Amino acid sequence: MDPHYAWLAFWLPASLFDASGLPPASSGVASASACPADMALVEHDHSEKVDHVCTDQRGKHCFAYTPNVTTRSGAVQHVRTCMDRYEAPNQRGAKPLVELSGDEAEAWCTAKGKRLCGESEWESACEGDQALPWVYGWKVDTTVCDSDKSWRQFDEKALMSADPAIRMRESDRLWQGEPSGQRASCVSSDGVVDLTGNVEEWVTSRPEHRFRLSLMGGFWAKPWTGCRGTNDAHSPDFRFYEVGFRCCEDPR
């Protein structure tokens, strides 16, 4: 294992840092030629802002929108990127890597010749050409992605303990995520898996956000979280039991 990540041996099996267990190659000719086999080509025109018509408002959150009624505004950016098909370590059937800070997630991607995905890249992969509010459609369906588990109160003292065994025990108690790719329908039009639900994902932020890194996609206890809605409340040194990431790189 790279000495930079030696401390992670307390948390993660060393096999997760190997190159084995890659997901299947894309059947798309363009994706196969532009991106490595374990990545998907994401290419869409991304609008800075999209608005939908909510038809099922529950408190602060919307659970359904009128299909195909979308107002786009702001700058339009043509997004073209290669994105890991699965949450890091980008292996089908693996447990997503969590408890890495944004800085550590960024270094993990860099060590593999990649980078964290940008906010607009992540949104484009999730919503596709239709600007879908959820990766799978226009209303919440908790059977599609891992997003409807009950939230469990965490023990902050245990999670922040200097003893790795105590931290691991508490993280294991709280864990309700699923192996990458377990829900076959939780996949974008580009073939990117588990974008909403399962674990939140570090991305590089838009310039207007407070911190240079943010979180996207919600986790297993936020069914309302969709393709838009950035969590910019945490600095890059934040780490948590339900926070993961995936990597991107420029197409060939």
CA distance 204 to 13: 27
pLDDT digits (tens, 9 = 90+) for 140-197: 999 999 999 999 999 999 998 989 899 999 999 999 999 999 999 999 999 999 999 9
Q: What is Dmax (Cα atoms) for the chain?
A: 52
Domains present along the chain, CATH in parentheses: 28-249 (3.90.1580)
Q: What is the pLDDT of residue 8?
A: 40
Question: Which of the four pLDDT bands, split at 50, 70 and 90, describes residue 32?
Answer: low
- Does residue 187 sit in helix, strand or coil? strand
Q: Is the preceding peptide bond at 3 cis, omega within 30 degrees of 0?
A: no
DSSP-derived secondary structure for 125-153: HHHTTTT-SBTTBSB--TTTSS--PPP--
Q: What is the pLDDT of residue 29?
A: 45
Q: What is the pLDDT of residue 196?
A: 97
Place of tokens 């990649």: 114
Q: What is the pLDDT of residue 211?
A: 97
pTM recorded for the entire structure: 0.86
Q: What is the pLDDT of residue 12?
A: 39
